[in-house]
Amino acid sequence: MKGFYVLFLVLCLPLTLSAQQDCCNATPTDGAPFAIPNIGGNGTPEPLSNCSCLATNEHDTWWFTFVATTSGTFEMAITPWNLGADYDFALYTGECPCGPMTQVVSCDYTGPITPPGPFVVTGISSTPQQTFGVTTTTEWQPTVNLVAGTQYWLIADNITTNGVGFSIQFAGTAQIDVPPNGGLPPAPAPLDGATTTCPGAVETYMVPNTPGFSYTWTVDPPNAAVNDFGGTNMAEVAWGFPGTYTLCVEASDGCNTSPPTCVPVIVTPLVTPPMQDSICIGDTYTAPNGQVFTAPGVYDLHFTSQQGCDSIVQLILTPRTFSINPIVEVVCPGTCVEVAGDDYCDEGTYEIVLEGANYVGCDSTIVLNLIVIGTEASFEPDTLPVLGCALDSVLLDASGSVGAGDLSFEWLDTNENVLGTDTFFTVVQGGEYILRVTAEVDSVACVDTLHFTVEEDATLPEITLASAAIDCDNPSDTIDATTNVTDPVFEWTGPNGFTSDAEDPVVTEGGMYYVTVTAPNGCFATDSLEVPADVNLPDAQATGGTVDCSNPSITLQGNSSTPGVTYSWTGPNGYTSN
């Protein structure tokens, strides 16, 4: 933008009507002031009502065009010559004239439009008095911002249609200049696409797209069909014959056409050498064209190239070998073997295929023979007796333990002290014990342990005996025996060959009685008891007299030499006396 403002500009020009009436012939400007006293006509009328506030299209018009070389603010002032007409304006970008890409940046359509006016200065500025020194502010639009690298078009329209010209001034922080190439569109570049292809191929070519531009594609010599999809920046070219061609594209902005961008294209038949590859025995091979082969050999592959050319390629398929790797693993129960990321825990034979894993890329098969050493410790008798007075030891037999390979035995106490290493072990003391059985195959040892307890009871019976006496009033008696053991066995002996197995035997004779009490653990104790007996009969004498009329009663006299006796009398007619 030129760094000065023109407030009053008078040019003495002939009073002939002049006009830059069309957008395509817009006057390039670098921001310098411009003045023309008379204008007339509208050239080819642009449909301004379709893309601005200028509802009645063109009248007496003048077009300008410029490019913003830096971004910034933009202001301008249009002064009717001698204030003799009403001017409207519109500022565009995107496309000229009004088209699909046209964007309105600013626009003013303010009257009055017929003489005598008054007619005033109009333009773009938020501060027209400070920027341009005008005294009126009625026909003004706010300051706008320009974007660097963007082309703009400005139309000044004398809506009064009386041929009166105008002067124009520019201001703002954005720098503007005439469009490059005199306003011509730049040559579209780069042009992308195949420059070497084959007869019959259909290739796609493309240049960067500029919004609002149309494109024209040509081929020289014209021995190819071109589809530009209605003037787009992309084209498909069907190359029919061998040769060297020139492909060109031009861009048009609706007004002007750019210089062409061209590339040479060589069209020649395809020459494809044989293809060599290999296949794993027992595998399948998929060729690049999708054909599938299961054996080595020489094959013809039919291709349609990316460009659409047909070709036949010879495939030489050589064999490769696969491999089998046997593995034997010995483990203990609960232990797994990991192969190729999977765990194998149960005994058996497994075939594991590793695809493409061997040195030539073929499948490798691992044959896993998994041996599980199932060790189980056991001994006889499975029901252990209780050690006591009758049984002071028990012999344990571990020969029934199960396990593969060689078995070894260890008999231990709870402190892991080894008490024996044979199949047989004699326990002579009650307590807790451990049987450890080890099975070993290929240096793999698997252990099973069995914890067991041998009970011991050497408690002796304690005996308590009690009895009354045998006499003439009690001709028999029960001996009361008690003991501290459960389920005891009693054996009694006594006078005159007396025997009994009762706990509390009944006896009828006095004398010494002996008892042996045996507990379930085989321990026994003996005791004895004397049963007193008094069974001697007392002697008795009785004296009396005769009962008669002279002696109606008499006294009976009883005597005994046995001390402490008592007397009991009976007689006729139920007579009793003590």
pLDDT tens figures, 301-358: 766 655 556 666 788 888 766 567 788 888 888 888 888 788 888 888 988 877 665 5
CATH fold label, 23-183: Jelly Rolls (2.60.120)
> What's the gap between Cα 453 and its chain centre?
52
**Tens digits of residue pLDDT in 70-83:** 999 999 999 999 99
pLDDT number for residue 438: 92
Fill in the amino acid letter for 123.
Answer: G
Residues 6+ apart with CB under 8 A from 86: 80, 111, 112, 113, 114, 117, 119, 158, 159, 160
- Express the helix, strand and coil content of the chain in percent, nearest 5 each: 5, 45, 50
Q: What DSSP designation does 18 have?
A: B
Question: Which superfamily does 463-534 belong to?
Answer: Immunoglobulins (2.60.40.10)
> What are the strands, taking DSSP E only, across 149-258?
151-158, 164-171, 176-177, 196-197, 202-206, 214-220, 224-227, 234-239, 243-252
**Residue ranges in 356-505 assigned as alpha helix (H):** none
Instruction: For residue 480, give the nearest of 469, 462, 467, 493 by alpha carbon.
Output: 467
On whether the 196-267 domain is CATH 3.40.91.10, my answer is no
Q: Which of 8-12, 142-146, 396-400 has the highest mean pLDDT?
A: 142-146
Choose between 19 and 498: higher pLDDT.
498
**Tens digits of residue pLDDT in 530-563:** 899 877 778 888 888 888 888 888 888 888 877 8
pLDDT at 575 > cutoff 50: yes
Choose between 96 and 309: higher pLDDT.
96
pLDDT number for residue 517: 94
Strand-pairing partners, residue 218, are 248
pLDDT number for residue 329: 85
Residues 6+ apart with CB under 8 A from 23: 46, 63, 65, 96, 97, 153, 155, 255
pLDDT at 12 > cutoff 60: no
Neighbours of 171 (CB within 10 A): 25
Q: What DSSP designation does 211 have?
A: T
**Tens digits of residue pLDDT in 400-458:** 888 888 889 999 999 999 999 999 999 998 889 999 999 888 888 889 999 999 988 88
**Strand, helix or coil for residue 492:** strand
- What separation in angstroms does the CA of 485 have from each of 384, 459, 519, 524? 21, 8, 6, 10
Average pLDDT, integer, range 106-112: 87
> Are 45 and 192 within 8 A, CB to CB?
no
Confidence band, pLDDT 50/70/90 cuts, at residue 566 = confident
Please give the Cα distance from 139 to 120 (Å, whole number): 8
Do the first three CATH levels of 196-267 and 463-534 match, i.e. the same topology? yes
Please give the Cα distance from 63 to 66 (Å, whole number): 11
Listing DSSP states for 329-379 in one string gives EEE-TT--EEETTEEE-SSEEEEEEETT-STTS--EEEEEEEEE---B---
pLDDT at 6 > cutoff 70: no
DSSP tally for the chain: helices H, then strands E: 1, 49
pLDDT number for residue 331: 86
The answer to whether the peptide bond before residue 100 is cis (omega within 30 degrees of 0) is no
Fill in the amino acid letter for 379.
Answer: F
pLDDT at 484 > cutoff 70: yes
Average pLDDT, integer, range 447-471: 88
Average pLDDT, integer, range 130-153: 92
Least-confidence region, from 43-52, 346-355, 370-379: 43-52
The domains of the chain are located at 23-183, 196-267, 275-320, 323-372, 394-454, 463-534, 541-577
Instruction: For residue 201, give the nearest of 261, 232, 245, 242 by alpha carbon.
Output: 242
Tokens of 57: 């299209």
pLDDT at 183 > cutoff 70: no
Radius of gyration of the chain (CA): 68
Please give the Cα distance from 218 to 231 (Å, whole number): 11
Please give the Cα distance from 375 to 422 (Å, whole number): 17
> Are 236 and 204 within 8 A, CB to CB?
yes
> Are 89 and 146 within 8 A, CB to CB?
no
Tokens of 122: 């109009």
pLDDT number for residue 2: 37
Tokens of 98: 């009004």
> Are 250 and 260 within 8 A, CB to CB?
yes
**Strand, helix or coil for residue 410:** strand
Least-confidence region, from 53-57, 320-324, 379-383: 320-324
pLDDT at 10 > cutoff 50: no
H or E element at residue 471: strand 470-471
Instruction: For residue 394, give the nearest of 460, 455, 458, 459 by alpha carbon.
Output: 455
> Are 390 and 460 within 8 A, CB to CB?
no
Choose between 308 and 105: higher pLDDT.
105
pLDDT at 16 > cutoff 70: no
Please, what is the Cα angle at 540 between 539 and 541, to 5 degrees? 135
pLDDT at 20 > cutoff 60: no
**Strand, helix or coil for residue 429:** coil
Residues 6+ apart with CB under 8 A from 1: 31, 72, 74, 170, 171, 172, 173, 174, 175, 176
Choose between 111 and 413: higher pLDDT.
413
Tokens of 356: 């493409």
**Strand, helix or coil for residue 129:** helix
pLDDT number for residue 220: 94
Neighbours of 182 (CB within 10 A): 8
pTM equals 0.42
**Tens digits of residue pLDDT in 186-207:** 889 899 999 988 888 889 999 9
CA atoms within 13 A on the CB side of 94: 11
pLDDT number for residue 576: 87
Residues 6+ apart with CB under 8 A from 51: 92, 98, 99, 102, 104
> Are 328 and 290 within 8 A, CB to CB?
no
Pairing label, strands 164-171, 202-206: unpaired
pLDDT number for residue 288: 80
**Strand, helix or coil for residue 83:** helix
Fill in the amino acid letter for 251.
Answer: A
Task: Give the chain's mean pLDDT.
Answer: 85
